[in-house]
Every structure is written in C-alpha cells, then in structure tokens.
Amino acid sequence: MQYEFPEWLGDLKDDSKEGFVFKLAPSFGGGVLALRNLDDPSKYFSSEFAGIAIDELTKNKKETFDFLRMRKRWPGISDTKFIAGTNPGSIGHDWVKKIWIQKLFESNEQQSGQFQFVPAKVDDNPYLDKSYLQTLDSLPDNLRKAYRDGNWDTFEGQYFNEWDTAIHVIDPFQIPTSWRRFRSIDVSGRSGITSCHWFALDNDGTVFVYREYYKTGLDSDEHARNISKLSEGEVYHYTVIDSSAFAKIGLPETTAEVYMRNGITGFVSSSKNRIMGWDLMHQYLRWSEFEKPKIRFFSTCVNAIRTIPNLVHDDLHPEDVDTDGEDHAADDIRYFLQTLRAAKSPDEQLVPMNLIQQRLERLKKERESDIILNF
C-alpha cells in the first residue's frame, strides 16, 4: 500500500495501539482498511467489519474462519463480503479445499450458494517474466503441480502424492456378478468416526471401492445395523475389521461381537503393521502413462476421496501417516489391502493373507511337534 496506492485514494497510518490502517479519502467515504494479523482472532470478538480479506487463507485453521465470519456485519450493509487468496498446502488445505473447491458443506450451512472458487493460475498473468515460469517448472513434482498448475490434489508434505482425482475417481457402474466383493470396517466409539468401505475385485486384480459408510455420533450397534442394511442382497468373501474390535476392555462383549449380533459376520482381523499397509496403498495408487492404478474409487465415496489425498507425513515418523489427520477411511482401506492375495484364476477361492500366515504358523508348529515325537 505504501508504494502502490495513489495519494488521492487516502493515507496509510501507523496507530501504535491498533497497528497500520489505511484511511480512505472523504470522496471515497472516509472508511478505514484495518491491517491485522490472525495470531489471536479472539481479540476481534466485538469488532464489526463491512468486508474481510485474508491473504494465504490455508495458513489458518477453520476455527479462524468461523470466528471471523461472525464479525462480518455492518449497519446498512446486508451483503458484507469475505474474500481470500491462497495456495494449496499448509494446515488449512483440507478445510479450504472441502468448502470452496469440493463444495462439501455442513448440513446446517445456510449460505452455500455464496461460496465461489476463482482459479488464478500463473498463465493468467501476462506481466510475469518467462524466467519465473522456468523457476516454477524446475520445482519438485508436488510443488510444481501445486504452485505452477494450481492442483489442489497435491501439496508439500502430502503422504499419498500419487493421488490424482482425474485418475483415481470414476463414475459408478454396475458391478459384474462374477466379481468378488468385500467389506472393511474401522470401528470407533460414539465420539469418533466409524468408516466402512465396500470393495469389488475384477479378474485382473484391480480393486474398485464402490460404497462408503462414514458416520459419527452413533453407538456400535447402530453403526452395525446401518452397515448391515447397506449390505442387503450382497455376498462377501470376508469382512475385515479393526483388530481392536476383538478387545473386551472391561465390557461384557467385544465390539466385534456387537457387530455380529447385528448382522455383520465373516470377520478377518486387521493387521497391526501400519507401515506395510501404507506401502501397499502406495503400490495400488501408483500409476503412470503406461499403467493404470490398481485401485479406483466410485465418485460416491466422497469421504475417502476427500481425506486420503489430504493426509500428511508424521513429523516424528515420516514413514507413517500423521494420525492427527482424518485417517479413518485410509485405515479401513489399508486393512483390506493387507488381507488381499491375488488369485491365480477367477474361480480360485481367495484366502486372506493373515489367515494364510496363521495356517503357515500352525503347520510349522505341527512339523516341529512331529520332529520332537520322531526323535
């Protein structure tokens, strides 16, 4: 403002108490543009703003947006504005993408029609020197996609940087009756999120995620009944469930028993090896110009599509996903992939990998017993 705003527009002043303000000239209404930081939005609790503009919105948590939104009021102005500019990435990437790009709103949102996303890519600016474009083109792949191409599916620190919505998400289709079907469930209590996905395996070994259940605020038996209802008329080779579901934790029955009592059966326990599970997901998501990914998602699986590409590396254990992120859908999907063993032919019975391992261990013990007896 100091260098680019013309003098006839107004004056930039430094108020020792309030910080910098730009006072508009009387001919423009004499209003004030208050330049503020968002280190503590609560200090603006009693403020009134006719308009709010934020630079780099993704540097903020959603709570900051929710708080400032309540300050958007001015006597005589019924259409106060909120505008922001930002890049993909940072702590606010998920919620900004969810609201402005994916248009996924809370059920009580009354102003969803007022949220508009205006892409502003580097190619839209005719005044930039070509050297700047060359600089962006020289960035690592994930940074180039984010800052050069404006791709919101990739950002710095992203765990599954193979993800590309245009590649991994497809329109639903009628699943052939000959394809094997499966379920996988990440259970949770009332305050957490219970995630379940349904899978179909084609004859080439490609996994299609074709249905999703993703809810919170319900008890285990309610989740189980909902999942059972969505499963009516289908037959599954097995259902993978979080291994924690078999722990009693002082209760009269385990979570797995609650699910069985409410119509969910054929359980296989999930693997506890998280890192190997993520490695499998990387393998199934991987694609190239000559190779399609081995896992595809129906566009109706909105929470998997939303959360998986937004997961980031854990700071202390970069080989793992940061569990502070919304990893429920990714968890139940890796559970399933860790049990999957490719069959040699479409007619071969598919056996979960952890059951194979259990059988091998049993055979090993039987052989050791035979050796002892023979000796």
Question: Does CATH number 3.40.395.10 belong to domain 165-358?
Answer: no
DSSP-H helix ranges across 231-339: 255-261, 274-285, 302-307, 328-337
Number of C-alpha atoms within 13 angstroms, CB side, residue 252?
1
Task: Confirm if 155 and 88 have CB atoms less than 8 A apart.
Answer: yes
What residue type is 340 in one-letter code? L
Q: Classify 272 as helix, strand or coil.
A: coil
Pairing of strands 81-85, 51-55: parallel
Type and span of the H or E element at 193: strand 193-201
- Cα–Cα dist 139/125, whole Å: 19
Can you tell me the distance from the alpha carbon of 184 to that of 196, in angstroms, rounded to the nearest whole number?
6
Question: Tokens in use for 353?
Answer: 């990998």
> Has this prediction a pTM greater than 0.75?
no
pLDDT of 342:
45
pLDDT at 349: 55
Which residues in the chain are classed under CATH 3.30.420.280? 165-358
Q: What are phi and psi of 56, to 5 degrees?
A: 55, 65
Tens digit of pLDDT per residue, the chain (375 long)?
888 999 999 999 887 677 889 999 999 988 889 888 888 888 888 888 999 999 999 888 888 999 999 999 988 888 899 999 998 877 788 889 989 988 889 889 999 999 999 999 888 999 999 899 899 999 887 788 888 888 888 777 788 989 999 999 999 999 999 999 999 999 998 889 999 999 999 999 999 999 999 999 999 999 999 999 999 999 999 999 999 999 876 678 899 999 999 999 999 999 989 999 999 999 999 999 899 999 999 999 999 999 999 888 887 888 999 888 889 999 999 999 999 874 444 455 565 655 545 555 555 565 555 544 443
Q: What is the pLDDT of residue 345?
A: 42
Question: By C-alpha distance, which of 150, 147, 178, 151 is closest to 163?
Answer: 151
Tokens 């208050």 map to which residue? 34
CA distances from 335 to 10, 137, 185, 239, 367 (A): 61, 38, 8, 10, 30
Predicted local distance difference test score (pLDDT) of residue 146: 83
The CA radius of gyration of the chain, in Å to the nearest whole number, is: 27
Task: Give pLDDT, residue 346.
Answer: 45
Q: What angle do CA 237, 307, 293 make, to 5 degrees?
A: 55
